[in-house]
Structure 1
Amino acid sequence: YLKSEYQGCERTKGMQVLNLGREFKMKSMKETEAIKGYTNRLLGIANRVKLLGKDFPHERVVQKILVTVPEKYESKTSALEESKYLSTITLGELINALQ
């Protein structure tokens, strides 16, 4: 019951998914924020989208993190990119690599 009450009608669900997608796109990591905190914010959005019945692959979260981390992580992200490991890296592995 709670799930159906939270989701509402299909149109409402669609609007919620669009708004969550927009929120996800606009997120960026704060200079003083820890990787874990930033990841948790992104995963919170991803989980809300999934709760609404839409797919939200973790690869999308991985890509978002790689593109939006502050400059202080550049050497770590560059090393990951050069290792050609990015196509198979999991979210957990990325978090561990950046911490």
Structure 2
Amino acid sequence: MMTESTIGSFFTRISNEVEKQMDADLKSFNISANELEVLIELEHHKHGKTYDKLAKELHVTKDKVEELVKSLVAKDLVTDDNGTVISTEDGKEVCKKVEFQQV
């Protein structure tokens, strides 16, 4: 009989492996799985989302969102308008390309 901690460890390992595979698949788009999650969250929000909302919806810390946004801003995939993150046309295009490729 598996203990709860063993089951939790099992799911964590599976999650980590899936994320590693996604990162490999997304390499040609120059984004990570976590960055893609941010872009997907912003996809249908023309006026963007705050760091706090993104953190809550992605189940990560605000610091993690800030790190991801900084990377996405450097790639011109999002803009940061006083704490509101907005997807750029390039960011929207990456989402479409990833969806089309069915990574």
TM-score by length of 1: 0.33
**Of Structure 1 and Structure 2, which has the larger fraction of its residues in strand?**
2
Higher-RCO chain (CA-CA 8 Å, sequence separation at least 6): 1
